[in-house]
Amino acid sequence: MDYLQINGNNSLSGTVKISGAKNAALPLLASTILSKNEITIENVPNVKDINTLLKLLSNLGSTYNFENNRLRIDSSTIFNTMANYEIVKTMRASILTLGPLLSTYGHCEVSLPGGCAIGQRPIDLHLKALELMGADIEIKQGYVVAKAKNGLKGANIVFDKITVTGSENIIMAAALAKGKSRIVNVAKEPEVVQLCEILQDAGVEIEGVGSDELIIEGTDRQKLDMKDFKVIPDRIEAGTYLCAGAITNSQITISDVVPDHLEAVLMKLEEMGFGLDVKGDSITIKPAKKIRSSDIITSEYPGFPTDMQAQFMALMTQAEGVSIVEERLFENRFMHVSELQRMGASIMLRGNSATIQGKIKLYGADVMATDLRASSALILAGLVAEGVTKVHRIYHLDRGYESLEKKFQALGADIVRLKE
């Protein structure tokens, strides 16, 4: 098993190119199930989650070629509608095949996802919406067995709570349904917006893109003529590298980004005292004279993203004074706290709130990654820690960060990947 070794206390400099967004690419790959033609997708990140979904699509019958972040995929060749547990158990996003498989073929069996390290993410909202669209759904031996013999029908759907994957699944299902669907309380993340835009380009009528209410006119099981497209940049990877510049108080530039997608993160960095120079698709972060403490409350987009909470907590250990982080989306997303404490961080937990005392000197230690974003927080802490930090179980990192150690090395970080 691999681990990352970091020698801390180095300044960073230079430019890092941001990869395509994993969380945009996953539903977009699933949406190819709706297509009658081969598609080329550019800027696809070569990370474990993408390769897992490609393996699943291949099992279903899709054919593809994936090289240099360019994917050529044809899902019109699908002959199997069973997404088996052996693949689904390794990645919850596999549930995104449920909506498009059911709307295209009228039946499918998709394994229930396994547990999730950061808490429960039930799919009951997905299933309830599909039943409203006329699906007959049973849970049998750990599988969602879904049937819609005559296809799905448009329906009025109101999500009880905002769900990103639920929104994406039902948008794809509605695209091939018969009649009009009205979906209320839709997630507004840029990844959801791009999915809608790609379906619009393929001829699906969608009103309200970017808002919390969508009206979708389905094609009545007529497959789509999908166009080639490029995946949007990864706003969470971008935020992580900005935090790397911030925690080391260095000037670095990130390129190939959409600054509008990072508004909440950029506002918080400015509040903490950092200068930001935004030019087109690049952002330069400049050192702060004094890193100020700050408070964060996570919420759905366009609020502060839960996927940036751990990275900012690492940064807050280097701020002057007391910072507070309140996690409102997931019930178990503070597992990185005990690992940061091993490095000397002063963090007190109470329920869904963490109080961080800065400025604290951090020391290198052996730490263990517990989920994707927690892993990146430990790397950030290692960048400023005195001595050597070893981050173990980095298979979590490989799920969502492309060429992470190479990008950090290019910025001047002393970081290497080694074998246990």
Catalytically active residues are 116
- Cβ–Cβ < 8 Å for 333, 118: yes
- Cβ–Cβ < 8 Å for 27, 168: yes
If you count DSSP H runs as helices and E runs as strands, how many of each does the chain have, helices first?
Answer: 14, 24
With H, G, I as helix, E, B as strand and everything else as coil, classify residue 50.
helix
DSSP lists the bridge partners of residue 161 as none
- Cβ–Cβ < 8 Å for 143, 153: no
Separation of CA 137 from chain center = 28
With H, G, I as helix, E, B as strand and everything else as coil, classify residue 240.
helix
Identify the residue whose tokens are 């049937």: 147
Q: Supply 298's token pair.
A: 């996570």
- Cβ–Cβ < 8 Å for 362, 317: yes
Strands annotated E in 231-381? 251-255, 275-279, 282-286, 295-297, 321-326, 346-350, 353-358, 366-368
Could you tell me the end-to-end alpha-carbon distance of the chain, in angstroms, rounded to an integer?
A: 6
Those residues whose C-beta lies under 8 Å from the C-beta of residue 34, and which sit 6 or more positions away, are 100, 103, 104, 172, 175, 176, 199, 202, 223, 224, 226
Separation CA 141–CA 136 (nearest Å): 16
Question: Is the backbone peptide bond immediately before 188 cis, with ω within 30 degrees of 0?
Answer: no
- Residue type for position 258: V
Separation CA 409–CA 314 (nearest Å): 20
Which residue blocks in 160-298 are alpha helix, DSSP H?
164-175, 190-201, 235-247, 263-271
SS3 content of the chain, % helix, strand, coil (to 5): 35, 30, 35
> Quick one: which of 283, 285, 278, 277 has its CA closest to 248?
285
